[in-house]
Amino acid sequence: MLNDKTILITGGTGSFGKKFLEMIFEKYQPKKVIIYSRDEFKQSVMQTEYRNKVDMSRVRFFIGDVRDKERLMRAMHGVDYVIHAAAMKQVPTCEYNPMEAVKTNIHGAQNVIDAALDCNVKKVVALSTDKAVNPINLYGGTKLVSDKLFIAANAYSGQTGTIFSVVRYGNVAGSRGSVIPIWQNILDTGSNTLGVTDMRMTRFWITLRQGVELVFKALAESKGGETYISKIPSFHIGDLAQAMSLNTLGKEAEIKEIGIREGEKLHEVMVTSDDSRMTYEYDEHYIVYPHYNWSNQADILPGGQVVTEGFEYNSGTNKEWLSVEQLQQALKEMDD
């Protein structure tokens, strides 16, 4: 699928972009991979880090911002596939800099869409977040708009034009901004006290590798407008704290409940009950199909079954859970 193809990743120096670069060379022989981002230092670090890991003769680094449509047009010239990972993601940062979040997450999304359409890109996969589902903070609100833009973009591309789809997941285990590296730094100092916002809190467990695999699936089979969600286990945030403490210090942590933060949810929701009418369950994932007059029932991929009306995919009511012992093993595998 991606052999001899040119792929561009916006925000490519982030956790996802790094894992994607590693995995695409494991599985395919791409013609070229373009890392598009605005931080020259991170690009320099990434070039050094991957010098002996991948074929760097087929990797290009473009300085650019998704706010800059002209630069995107230049970068997408001759590109076959685009993965849109660039975004302002920190909830407090978006709350205190709302217009900057709008410029990157909404206007930037529109620029990516326009550039992809004008450059005849074959497929675009945009990364979404659980926070775009029933949003209660500005980050989630901007990503909801972004998701809607990418899905509706299929109406502009025609039957043989660019195909746009979305991949949605929550905080990725071990990624920048997740709680795991924060707690690990605390434990590495020898401290056995970890702050948990609320002991009732649950989250889905997904690794970077699983996130990239879902993007590969969307690139391979999407027909336009789908939102892909992985079927993954849940865990209690307090259990994660204990698993990390046991792995690092050999004893359970002392948990200090510090209170839920502004804009933070107790549970991650990936599919709402209102979306259940257009949600199909497959062996390893769900797909929410578009509900527009341009969408076609014939585009529903085989092998799935529509979920029951009112179904909600929620980390607090999930059927599959990770115990403390399973989290210990998952953390070790993540480090391998």
- Dist. CA 229–CA 318, nearest whole Å: 14
Given a cut of 60, is residue 169 above it in pLDDT?
Answer: yes
pLDDT by residue (tens digit) across 120-159? Answer: 999 999 999 999 999 999 999 999 999 999 999 999 987 6
Written in H, E and C, the secondary structure of 268-310 is CEEECHHHHHHEEECCCEEEECCCCCCCCHHHCCCCCEECCCC
- Dist. CA 252–CA 243, nearest whole Å: 8
Given a cut of 80, is residue 297 above it in pLDDT?
Answer: no
Q: Which entry of 19, 89, 131, 265 is annotated as an active-site residue?
A: 131
pLDDT by residue (tens digit) across 307-327? Answer: 999 999 999 999 999 999 999
b/e 145-165 (16+ beta carbons within 10 angstroms → b): bbbebbbebbeebeeebbbbb
Query: What is the band of 234 on the pLDDT scale with cuts at 50, 70, 90?
Result: very high
- Cβ-contact 317, 239 below 8 angstroms: no
Query: What is the band of 335 on the pLDDT scale with cuts at 50, 70, 90?
Result: low
Tokens 């993965």 appear where? 83
Mean per-residue pLDDT, 102-108: 98
- Residue 233's contacts (CB-CB under 8 Å, 6 or more residues apart) are 204, 205, 318, 320, 321, 322, 326
b/e 211-246 (16+ beta carbons within 10 angstroms → b): bbbbbbbbbeebbbbbbbbbbbbbbbbbbbbbbbbb
**pLDDT for position 6:** 98
Rg (CA), the chain: 20
- Dist. CA 37–CA 160, nearest whole Å: 29
Mean per-residue pLDDT, 223-232: 95
Q: Which of 195, 205, 200 minimizes the C-alpha distance to 235?
A: 205
First-residue to last-residue Cα distance in the chain: 28
Tokens 């302002």 appear where? 88
Element (DSSP H or E) covering residue 84: strand 81-84
CA atoms within 13 A of residue 122's CA, in its CB half-sphere: 15
**pLDDT for position 325:** 96
- Cβ-contact 321, 233 below 8 angstroms: yes
**Which tokens in the block code for residue 245?**
């403490």
- Residue 182's contacts (CB-CB under 8 Å, 6 or more residues apart) are none
Mean per-residue pLDDT, 9-14: 96
| Fold that domain 6-170+206-231+270-312 belongs to in CATH | Rossmann fold (3.40.50)
Prediction pTM value: 0.93
Q: Is 131 a residue of the active site?
A: yes
